[in-house]
Amino acid sequence: MSGIRVLFSAAEIASRVEALAAEIARTVPTDILMIGLLKGAAVFVADLARALDRAGARPEIEFMRLASYGLAKESSGAVQLVGDVPAGLAGRPVLLVDDIVDTGRSIAFAAAQLLQHGVGGLWTCALIDKPQRRQVEVAIDFIGFSIGDVFVVGYGTDYAEKYRHLPYIGIVE
């Protein structure tokens, strides 16, 4: 890997997360359960939860862990649930949060799991959307940034478990 070029700075991300939280707070119930997809969405979920609080919402936080990439830059195409779906979902409004929607397989899989558990409303949110890469039709209700077909890391998103710690989102060159 030759380097990482900044695509969205830490300041740009912070500003967009605040705006996204305001939009979400106007749309979803005040008492919403946020379910982040691990590991990538952990950083985004934390910042979004605090921004939602500032916007007047009272989010609770849970996580689901999925696997499809392993150590590669391309998805294997097979999404697996690692562990269990959070308990007590029946009738609860849920905001499903992911760091990046690429093929659409992971968020579609997670949404199907949540709907099977009887959630009382389901909204989806992604910090990064790559619509050109979509292989599964999925609607994302709240999008931070839409990008082209480039491989990005940082702010929770990784390459072979590295670069999640970066405070910005960068393109792998």
- Give the three-class secondary structure for 10: helix
Instruction: Give the 3-state secondary structure percentages of the chain, helix then strand then coil, rounded to 5.
Output: 25, 30, 40
Q: What is the pLDDT along the chain (173 residues), one digit of tens a residue?
A: 569 999 999 999 999 999 999 999 999 999 999 999 989 999 999 999 999 999 999 999 999 998 765 554 555 567 677 677 788 899 999 999 999 999 999 999 999 999 999 999 999 999 999 999 999 999 999 999 999 999 999 999 999 889 999 999 999 98
**Residue 143: what pLDDT?**
98
Instruction: Write out the H or E segment, with its range, that includes residue 110.
Output: helix 105-116
Q: Give me the phi and psi of 127, to 5 degrees please.
A: -70, -45
User: Could you give all domains of the chain from N- to C-terminal order, each with its CATH number?
Assistant: 10-150 (3.40.50.2020)
68 in Cβ contact with 76 (< 8 Å) = yes
Cα of 169 vs its chain's centroid, Å: 14
Closest-CA residue to 95 (of 125, 117, 68): 125
User: Helix, strand or coil for residue 70?
Assistant: coil
**What token pair was written down for 148?**
């082209």
* pLDDT number for residue 84: 75
What pLDDT was estimated at residue 173? 86
Rounded distance between C-alpha atoms, residue 130 and residue 126, angstroms? 10
> Which residues are annotated as catalytic?
102
Copy the structure tokens of residue 82.
């690692």
Q: Give the model's pLDDT for residue 149.
A: 93
- Give the per-residue pLDDT at 66: 82
Q: pTM of the prediction? A: 0.90
